[in-house]
Chains A and B, each alone.
Chain A
Amino acid sequence: MIPQLSGHSLLVFVGIPLLVVAVLALLVFASSIADGPRYRPGLSWWAPPVWINGPTATKPDPANLPELPELTGAPGATVTTGTAATGVARTTGGASASW
């Protein structure tokens, strides 16, 4: 014969264990919940770039610059545009690694 469980018995034998389990789970996962998503090597990276101690002067956006008057040169003259002048060849050192 199956004994009838009263509301009080349910609370003691089911409710309290469930509450204890919930509290323990919260304690275990609290730190990871607070830290947010964690970096896992091999999975995709989700966050926007972060630059600590980056350049102080912001460079003007080329799209917002006023239009320059069109150059008029001698017949047959060519106007060369490009980014070659902006590239600065520096002697650098350092190291590389991958994981």
Chain B
Amino acid sequence: MPAGDAFTPDQLYDIERAVRYAEDTSGLHFSVYVGGADSETRPFALELFNELDDPDSTVLVYVDPAGRRLEIVTGSLAKRQLTDTAAGLAALTMQTSFATGDLTGGLVTGVQQLGTHAHQPPLLHASDEQHKL
């Protein structure tokens, strides 16, 4: 691995695979940013979020390893599938791993958890007819 990179190619592959899993499961877009913030973490995460292609349907996971901060930002459409409570649970999972120095494990587990929480089962009853009792 080149000196100074945050992740090895294997670690990057694991994170990308978790992102793909979350996207396939939920139908939302997932983005992961790991790096320092120029300002406060939440406004900086929102700046990054607004740069994304389809922010309304996106979940951004922002990790500031130096500041030891984690932000999960969900767009207006994404938050219908992924509630703040579910995002908070995933944040707790990631927080536990990050505190032990396991950035990759925390991201993989957390992103997978976000995707699972945002999963919407297919409708079995597509008919608009009302059921009569």
- Nearest neighbor of B11 in chain A, beta-carbon distance: A35
- Nearest neighbor of A88 in chain B, beta-carbon distance: B50
The minimal Cβ–Cβ distance linking B116 to chain A, given in whole angstroms, is: 16
Which range holds the interface residue count of chain A?
35 or more
The minimal Cβ–Cβ distance linking B63 to chain A, given in whole angstroms, is: 9
Q: Which residues of B contact A42 (CB under 8 A)?
A: 68
Is A41 a contact partner of B95 (Cβ separation < 8 A)?
A: no
Is B75 a contact partner of A51 (Cβ separation < 8 A)?
A: no
Task: From the candidates B34, B56, B68, name the one contacting A41 in the complex (CB within 8 A).
Answer: B68
Is B35 a contact partner of A49 (Cβ separation < 8 A)?
A: yes
Task: From the candidates A36, A53, A94, A98, name the one contacting B73 in the complex (CB within 8 A).
Answer: A94
Is A44 a contact partner of B99 (Cβ separation < 8 A)?
A: no
Q: Which residues of A contact B99 (CB under 8 A)?
A: 41, 99
Is B56 a contact partner of A90 (Cβ separation < 8 A)?
A: yes
Q: Which residues of B contact A97 (CB under 8 A)?
A: 69-70, 88, 91-92, 94-95
- Nearest neighbor of A46 in chain B, beta-carbon distance: B4
Task: From the candidates A35, A53, A96, A99, name the one contacting B8 in the complex (CB within 8 A).
Answer: A35
Given contact pairs A34-B1, A35-B8, A41-B68, enumerate 10 new A-B contacts (beta carbons under 8 Å). A38-B101, A44-B66, A48-B35, A50-B33, A53-B16, A90-B56, A90-B75, A94-B87, A96-B91, A99-B95
